[in-house]
Amino acid sequence: MMTIEEAVKKFVNDFSFIPTELIRKVYEKNPYDLECLNSESFINENNEYFPAMYGTMYSCKDWTDSEWIRRNIEVVEEIGFAVYDCEYCGILLGINGAGFDFYDSYWKELYLARGFKWHENNK
């Protein structure tokens, strides 16, 4: 069994890391073609349609992650992820922040929300 930190890092490996600038470049002429799946209030609170401040966006490698995220947008949004549907790479997650531990602030919460138990309890 793994610690929760090891399990979260393993979970994160199920995502491809894509430079945000690459996504911006692809959609620069038609930014609204990149469909934001978040609620209108989430978009308004972040003051922009494309809130992925951090230089990396995350694409699901596993279709089960994509489907779970699609069915649980409100949970993923509550964690703080911006969720997009990209015609080229499917579900994309963005983080509007920098300067803190993404594993604890985002990925651990998503791992727990998914209901995974790859880790030992209390470790």
DSSP string, 39-66: -HHHHHHTTSS----SSEEEEESSHHHH
User: Cα–Cα distance between 17 and 94 in angstroms, integer?
Assistant: 10
pTM: 0.86
Residue 38 in any domain: the answer is yes
Residue 60 in any domain: the answer is yes
Range of the domain at 25: 4-113
Q: How many domains does the chain have?
A: 1
Q: In this predicted model, what pLDDT tens digit does every residue of 57-76 receive, in sequence order?
A: 999 999 999 999 999 999 99
Which region holds residue 51: left if phi is over 0, alpha if psi is between -120 and 50, else beta?
A: alpha
Residue 40 in any domain: the answer is yes
Residue 17 in any domain: the answer is yes
Residue 121 in any domain: the answer is no
Whether the pLDDT of residue 51 is over 60: the answer is: no
Strand-pair partners of 2: 119
Provide the pLDDT for residue 66: 96
Higher pLDDT, 28 or 74: 74
Residue 8 in any domain: the answer is yes
Residue 122 in any domain: the answer is no
